[in-house]
A and B are shown apart, each in its own frame.
Chain A
Amino acid sequence: LLAGAGRGAAFSTAPPPEKKRWLRAYLELQRLQAPPQRRSEKPNWDYHAEIQAFSHRVQENFALDLLKTAFVNPCYIESEEARRRQLGLDKDAVALQLQHNTGLAERGLRFARAYLAQCFEGAYPELPAKGVEALVNFLTSQELVSYVAQNLSIQDLALCRDFPAPPDVLQRTFLAVIGALLESSGPERTGIFVRDFFIPQLIGKDLFEIWEVVNPMGLLLEELTKRNISAPEPRITRQLGVSTVLPVYFVGLYCDKKMLAEGPGETLLAAEEEAARVALRKLYGYTENRRPWDYSKPKQGLAAEKAISSN
């Protein structure tokens, strides 16, 4: 009777026995040492809802099937087919009906480069082609694009073979997203998207950090001959601590006895080079006190259409 009552009581809702005190530390260590997993393999993940949330977060209307194609990388397709072949499925079942994103990525890259080049040519008309190219290369470089993609949660949505996703995969996925937006909403909205996400990465950056110029003095001479100004004459304006370990020389460049630019440096050569760089910054209009970028809504759609036609 007592045994029956005991067994009957075992089926009531008793709280499960808690983990032993001596086991908790080991389990905690196991949890902390577990290898990092994709977010899609952790509980609570709905791919379709996440993609819809992504399009709302970025405030753009995407064609959802184009967007889903944009997140599929070729390495993912290969790894999935290899896995299915390993599991011994037929050849028909092995072939995935997914298309990868290389086409969209190429289109996105071409559009982004053309649009950014056009933006810079419009904003800094004096900047030579090499400078514009250097700026566009910096903005479409792997590190920058993968940094922007990480902070927009693209690394959770992208389907790829390795985890965490390598930067070139993230770059390809983000450019494919731009390509998908181009197909869905047209060049105008994609231009605004590229402007809103790429151009703020230039804030706080100096022109010659991005564009490596080996001989600024030579470049300055070329620019001045183009504008018919005589060659600059360097003169020491100020100097401090000449006989110490850390001297400071301010060298000014004078054209026709009028000051063009002044730059500091540790040695006279360094100061002259810095003065040439300051002069180039002034000529190209890329000084620190230039007008900030104009992010207002564009009224004409001609700019983005020109970008498309020039591809």
Chain B
Amino acid sequence: MIHSLFLINHTGDIFLEKHWKSVISRGVCDYFLEVKEKAVEPENVPPVLQTPHHYLISIYRDKLFFLSVIQTEVPPLFVIEFLHRVADTFQDYFGECSESIIKDNVVTVYELLEEMLDNGFPLATESNILKEMIKPPTILRSVVNTLTGSSNVGDKLPTGQLSNIPWRRAAVKYTNNEAYFDVIEEIDAILDKSGMTVFAEIQGVIEACTRLSGMPDLTLSFMNPRLLDDVSFHPCVRFKRWESERVLSFIPPDGNFTLMTYHVSSQNLVAIPVYVKQNISFFETGSCGRLDITIGPKQTMGKMVEGLMVTVHMPKAVLSVNLTASQGNYTYDLATKVLVWDIGKLNPQKPPNLRGTLSVQSGAPRPEENPALDIKLKIQQLAISGLKVNRLDMYGEKYKPFKGVKYMTKAGKFQVRT
């Protein structure tokens, strides 16, 4: 299984190494660094590489490469999924997953890695269990520890390890018992030149934050569960109940977790909240081109569209832009050739517009391709699929928790072809 792990920053420095079996020289990373040098974008580095004696499986997260060294056959997804879990755990413990934060907490990181794998096989990956064994660093705790000499490491086996519900730690106690659910939907869509939908679907996720004492048993039901085409669950959800009754029945982990993700198929008509009229053209003669983009509301269900942003990856030949925006600001990065137009709230009365000229490198041939537009947007208080939570019931505990459900719609991979 996983032999060693190297953390490498985007410039190619190895700043942490951990071995679960015998030590492997960091020279093995050279193969990887070579490929990385060649790749234009870090995303283009193949996740699986073969070297004479080892296999390298890597992920790229938050500008860091997590590179694991493998010696024998192992399902690649197993390793990839685990590496992401490691990154998630860092995120969970330290609030972010960056080079500096990992260096600052190198001992905790090391202790975590030690617990997460044994001989290369995952041992404890549930955040609830890890947190019982190794407490996340807080300022208060570090002060107390230096004064009292107590440690961050628990000396008891976390109860979750042995139970049937390893995701929940025992003896949870809160004075305020609360459970919040965020239903977040992302629209993935490809619109063609004329604004027709080539492909659209909705990907939803229910993020939960539960702070409930004891062992609550929750049941979450939807008004219209039939909408959901495909689902995946946190291990706590009882699949059988979902199959038979279409309700989510579960004993939640403590704290934040992703309860389920779902998919609303493209067969149901997916509402596209905005329309985009665009015209990007380059003249045959003279080194310039024209750009004109207008965005207006389409199917917003009466809600306000916020956080509207358009990103355009211009052809390499475009030197500079000279545009005027009727609303919001735009920036053009000369190095990466990325035009970003930050609009903010969408005004339905006066659709925002961006127009002007593009100057193209003289002598260069007219760019053949037209850049696609990536749209970002947010709509609060709306799940665009129409999914509604019906009720949340709690069994097993006597108190009445405070419950809340929030809806939000975002643009996921929302692309307009030109």
Q: Do A and B come together as binding partners?
A: no
Q: Using a CB–CB distance below 8 Å, which chain A residues touch chain B?
A: none
Q: Chain B residues in contact with chain A, CB under 8 A?
A: none
